[in-house]
């Protein structure tokens, strides 16, 4: 498999665009920063006053990079106009360099979700919409066949995080989806709504959450939706990374780490049966491409993700092994870095 890299200018432009979007997110700080500790992790909140009432807003998990941006909030606010102009120029550069942009249906929905705070509150974009963003993160070219959309925009979040944060989206996803002509699709056996279909396109929006056994529909209070619980999803969305979708001047979202995405696709490909065989083929193709790139550029991260999945038990090993039997080149690449 031939891997074609983007130019050095394109890779630099993407990283600069991502940095500017992260700065834009931090520049909205108006109150003080408070740390809260839950389940061995530390989360940062903004506390501010409206009239006589104190409000709090979740900012993210405590990381040195986030604290550094928050400390520069006033300077970032002063730079807002110049930053936004540069963001527009950088997206134009990336389009000219050949990075494939996000389509209008997906881009408008991601922008609305981002403005409502969905990604700030733990939502992680998964599926092909997330896979497409690795062209910027990894600096590699993807052709249209690799990025062929399934028509799904999938957002995942842990139910436990959604409960623990004590914050929620500014606008309910149902309201956002309705304004963009999405209709709810009730489940056959469970009337809770966790997916919507756009009336004038094939686009589907779905909400997912990790399962640890029975795959039921569960509430996500912070995101204001219900979500379909799926096994193996917790592995995929652990420690996600920020990414920019190329729509307008860019939309800041959150996606899985590419190495976890690759291994997860090996797992879910083996789960698909019957009418889902075409999706299984696409899963394996995405896994094969990412493993080929990561085995060259980020072998340590790939090996860690691979070994972590194998350590989860025989069922995990069996599913990964079954997919690798159909991908001998991918299996050889993983064996070479072990």
Q: For the chain, give every domain's residue range.
A: 100-256, 257-338
Distance of CA 11 to the CA centre of its chain: 19
Yes or no: say if 242 and 18 are a contact pair by the CB < 8 Å rule: yes
In sequence order, the 6+-apart residues with CB closer than 8 A to the CB of 221 are 162, 163, 168
pLDDT the model gives residue 147: 64
The architecture in CATH of the region 100-256 reads 2-Layer Sandwich (3.30)
Which phi-psi region, left, alpha or beta, contains residue 39 (left: φ > 0; alpha: ψ -120 to 50)? left
Q: Nearest CA to 233 among 253, 205, 256, 217?
A: 256
Cβ(119)–Cβ(143) under 8 Å? no
Residue with the larger pLDDT of the pair 205 and 69:
205
Average pLDDT (29-50) is 78
Residues counted in the chain: 338
Q: Which two tokens stand for residue 179?
A: 């304004």
Q: Give me the percent of the chain exceeding a pLDDT of 70.
A: 90
Cα distance between residue 213 and residue 229, in whole Å: 9
Taking only the tens place, the pLDDT of each residue in 258-286 is 999 999 999 999 998 876 788 899 999 99
Contact 158, 24 (CB under 8 A): no
Are the C-beta atoms of 262 and 302 separated by less than 8 Å? yes
Distance of alpha carbon 153 from alpha carbon 110, whole angstroms: 9
- Min mean pLDDT across 83-92, 138-147, 301-310 is at 138-147
Q: What string of DSSP letters covers 189-218?
A: S---EEEEEETTSS-EEEEEEE-SSS--EE
Region of poorest pLDDT, from 191-200, 261-270, 295-304, 316-325: 191-200
Side-chain half-sphere exposure of 68, counting CA atoms within 13 A: 5
CB 120, CB 222: distance < 8 Å: no
Specify the pLDDT at position 189: 57
Among residues 253, 278, 266, the alpha carbon closest in space to that of 309 is found at 266
Tell me the backbone φ, ψ of residue 263, rounded to 5 degrees. -70, -40
Are 184 and 217 in contact by the 8 Å Cβ rule? The answer is: no
3-state secondary structure of 322: helix
Strand order from edge to edge, sheet including 32-38? 32-38, 41-50, 53-61
Which of the residue ranges 77-81, 209-213, 223-227, 290-294 has the most confident prediction, judged by mean pLDDT? Answer: 290-294
Instruction: Report d(CA 215, CA 82) in Å as an integer.
Output: 48
Which residues of 127-250 form beta strands (DSSP E)? 152-156, 182-186, 193-198, 204-210, 217-220, 225-230, 241-245
Q: Highest-confidence range of 55-64, 120-129, 294-303, by mean pLDDT?
A: 294-303
């Amino acid at each position: 498999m031939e891997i074609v890299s983007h130019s050095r200018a394109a890779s630099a432009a993407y990283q600069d665009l991502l940095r500017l979007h992260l700065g834009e997110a931090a520049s909205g700080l108006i109150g003080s920063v408070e740390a809260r500790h839950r389940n061995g992790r530390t989360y940062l909140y903004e506390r501010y006053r409206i009239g006589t009432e104190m409000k709090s807003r979740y900012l993210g998990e405590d990381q040195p990079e986030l604290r550094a941006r928050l400390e520069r909030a006033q300077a970032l606010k002063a730079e807002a106009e110049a930053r936004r102009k540069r963001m527009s120029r950088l997206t134009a550069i990336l389009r000219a360099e050949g990075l494939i942009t996000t389509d209008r249906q997906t881009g408008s929905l991601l922008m609305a979700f981002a403005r409502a705070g969905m990604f700030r509150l733990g939502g992680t974009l998964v599926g092909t919409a997330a896979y497409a963003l690795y062209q910027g993160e990894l600096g590699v070219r993807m052709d249209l066949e690799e990025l062929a959309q399934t028509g799904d925009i999938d957002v995942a979040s842990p139910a436990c995080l959604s409960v623990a944060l004590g914050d929620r989206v500014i606008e309910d996803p149902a309201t956002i989806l309705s304004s963009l002509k999405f209709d709810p699709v009730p489940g056959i056996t469970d009337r809770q709504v966790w997916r919507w279909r756009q009336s004038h396109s094939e686009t589907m929006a779905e909400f997912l959450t990790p399962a640890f056994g029975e795959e039921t529909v569960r509430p996500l209070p912070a995101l204001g939706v219900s979500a379909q619980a799926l096994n193996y999803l917790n592995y995929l969305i652990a420690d996600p990374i920020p990414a920019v979708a190329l729509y307008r001047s860019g939309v800041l979202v959150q996606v899985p780490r590419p190495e976890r995405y690759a291994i997860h696709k090996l797992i879910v490909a083996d789960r698909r049966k019957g009418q889902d065989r075409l999706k299984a083929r696409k899963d394996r193709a995405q896994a094969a491409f990412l493993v080929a790139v990561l085995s060259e550029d980020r072998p340590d991260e790939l090996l860690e993700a691979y070994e972590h999945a194998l350590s989860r038990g025989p069922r995990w090993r069996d599913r990964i092994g079954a997919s690798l039997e159909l991908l001998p080149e991918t299996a050889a690449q993983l064996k070479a870095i072990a």
